Amino acid sequence: MIEILQWSTLSVCSALAVARIPSAVRGRNRSLFAIFVLATLAILLSIDEPYMAVDSWLGSENYANLILRFIIYVTVFLAGRGVAKAFDDSRALRRLTGPVGVGVLALIMLATVVLFLLADTAGSSTGLAALPGRSPENGLLIGFYAAAGRLYPAYVAVCLLPATLTAVTQSLPGAVRVGAALLSLGFFALILGMLFPVIPDSLGFLQPVINYTAVLALMAGLACIWIGRVLLRRAKPSLRAFTEK
Amino acid sequence: MPVPAKAFQRWLQGVAPSASMADISRISGIKRTTLAQQLVRGKVAESTLVSVSRAVGINPVTALAVFDTFADLRREPPLPRPEELVSQIATTDLLHAVIARSIPDDPGAPPAPQPPLIPAPHTTSVRNWVDAIDDGELRHRVSAATGIAPQNYSAQLTANRLTPELAIATAVAAGVAPTSGLVATGLITEEEAGWAPDARQRALARLSDGELASLAGDRLQAIGRTLRRQEQDHERTEKIWENLG
């Protein structure tokens, strides 16, 4: 079940990245191309086989997981900046790219690196699943490391959710409103991610479901808005509409 | 509400007993598939009935009045009010009249001939008609009489649309000729509603300069408001596509 989710998410992300190549070549919103490529890489590193391959090449110390965290941070930052600009939310933009936003990101990145170095990370393990069980101390360190990794996406989501929810209700082209709704769903899932520590083990299957819902909803939301531009470009409103017969 | 297909076919038997469906579609200009589909679904659109009645040489008002939904059309209608006539003059024509009256008289030259008015309906004719007959409580009465929610009614007016049934209900609630509503919505022509060919022109001529100037001003203001809103939506959409398109 989870494998299906992983591979389908991977195919969606990579297809979007490929479809975005012509625009990237023309120089149109290259960050969108970067987002799709980085999301593809992030999904790849979440799947067992590619993770094992990459990590063994990096020395089997799970540095691939650390790289994965940074890929997620950069992807979320780029997507968040784009969404804040697009939906003209200057407050969200300041909270993401202003001193506060940069400070939050730097702090979380530092915490991620420090916790990773403190923990015993020897021996490749996808999603670090095998590491917390080694010792109570390691369990704690890896727990905080994972929490830090979810904190930044949740922070960005909290900043942007009001803007995307508002856009759903505004009179905008249908594809843009659907896109805004999907982005809102994705942000909501990212915020839900903060609740992972309190989800009981019996509901453990929810964790990947929430994660992949977030990725799929965000990518589909961005794609929807982009497709809307291609299909629905409208003429500028003019007086002619009131006089033409 | 469209008329029942059975009743439509009975009516057709009476007015064109020998005509086949193919004949009807040919003389009325309605696509055969459209006509067949409406008959199969059991509902014939009012516009179909109007086109067919024109094709067989019957006034659409007389044809509509045969059906119980449009029983209000059976009574001899009162003459259109001057406000209604003026409401069916396109804004461009009103502005032409403002300019024509603003030019100083040249005693030597003969008065310039008035160009014919653009035939009703115009781009804001439905809303202008309802505004012209509204005593302040009209929308209330229409929604009480027909059960339509006020916001749905307003939405139709904004879109310069009104179903024939609602147009007639509005006219009845305002105590004006039901046919006026069908003219404003474009279902029938002024002539078919029994308006004199120069009725609108004469109503325009009877407006004082002050009345004409304020009326044209009101129209421009309404158009300005609509355009400003459309421009804001357009700018917002462009901003979204500029950053995420």
Q: What is the full per-residue pLDDT of chain B (245 aa) written as tens digits?
A: 789 999 999 999 998 888 888 889 999 999 999 999 999 999 999 999 999 999 999 999 999 999 998 999 998 889 999 999 999 999 999 999 999 999 887 777 776 677 789 998 999 999 999 999 999 999 999 999 999 999 999 999 999 999 999 999 999 999 999 999 999 999 999 999 999 999 999 999 999 999 999 999 999 999 999 999 999 999 999 999 999 98
B41-53 pLDDT, tens digit per residue, is 999 999 999 999 9
Report chain B's C-alpha Rg in angstroms. Answer: 21
- Please judge whether A237 and B124 are an interchain contact, meaning their C-beta atoms are less than 8 angstroms apart: no
- Which residues of chain B from 106 to 125 reach within 8 Å of chain A, CB to CB? 118, 122-124
B158 lies within 8 A of chain A by CB: no
Neighbours of B141 (CB within 10 A): 16
Kindly report the backbone phi and psi dihedral angles of residue B158, in degrees, each rounded to the nearest multiple of 5, phi listed first.
-60, -35
The closest alpha carbon to A24, from A13, A32, A16, belongs to A32
Q: Tell me what pLDDT residue B20 has.
A: 86
At B103 the pLDDT is 85
The string of pLDDT tens digits covering residues A131-159 is: 888 899 999 999 999 999 999 999 999 99
Per-residue pLDDT, B111: 67
Computed over every residue of chain A, the mean pLDDT equals: 93
Whether residues A243 and B227 touch (CB distance < 8 A) is answered with no
ipTM score assigned to the predicted complex: 0.89
Mean pLDDT computed over A111-136: 91
Closest residue in chain B to residue A88, using alpha carbons only: B239
Q: Give the span between the Cα atoms of A72 and A61, in whole angstroms.
A: 19
Asked if B227 lies within 8 A of A239 by C-beta distance, the reply is yes
Q: What percent of chain A has pLDDT over 70?
A: 99
How many Å lie between the alpha carbon of B128 and the closest alpha carbon of chain A? 13
Q: Give the mean model confidence (pLDDT) for residues A48-68.
A: 94
- Provide φ and ψ at A195, rounded to 5°: -90, 0
pLDDT of residue A205: 84
Candidates B92, B230, B241; nearest CB to A237: B230
Residue appearing with tokens 């209000």: B72
Closest CA in chain A for residue B227: A237
**Minimum Cα–Cα distance from B241: chain A residue:** A229
Q: Cα separation of B149 and B166, whole Å?
A: 12
Using a CB-CB cut-off of 8 Å, the residues of chain B touching A225 are: 240-241, 244-245
- A160 pLDDT more than 90: yes
B123, B236, B245 member nearest A29 (Cβ): B245
Is residue A52 classed as helix, strand or coil in its secondary structure?
Answer: helix
Q: Which domains does chain A have, with CATH numbers?
A: 2-228 (1.20.1070)
State the best of A238, A243, A244 to mutate against chain B, taking most chain B CBs within 10 Å: A243
**Beta-carbon pairs below 8 A across chains A and B:** 72
CA distance B206 to A239: 28
Query: All domains of chain B, ordered by start, with CATH?
Result: 3-73 (1.10.260), 82-203 (no CATH)
Name the nearest CA neighbour of B72 among B157, B145, B153, B154: B145
* A93-108: average pLDDT: 96
A82: distance to nearest CA of chain B, Å? 6
d(CA A89, CA A66): 31
CA distance A59 to A121: 11
CB A6 within 8 A of CB A43: yes
pLDDT at residue A244, as a whole number: 54
Name residue, tokens 């609602």: B166
* Residue-level pLDDT at A129: 87
What is the pairing mode between strands B3-4 and B43-44?
antiparallel
- pLDDT at residue A239 in the model: 87
Closest chain B CA to residue A243: B92
At residue B210, the pLDDT reads 96
How large is the average pLDDT for residues A172-176? Answer: 93
CA distance A229 to chain B (A): 6
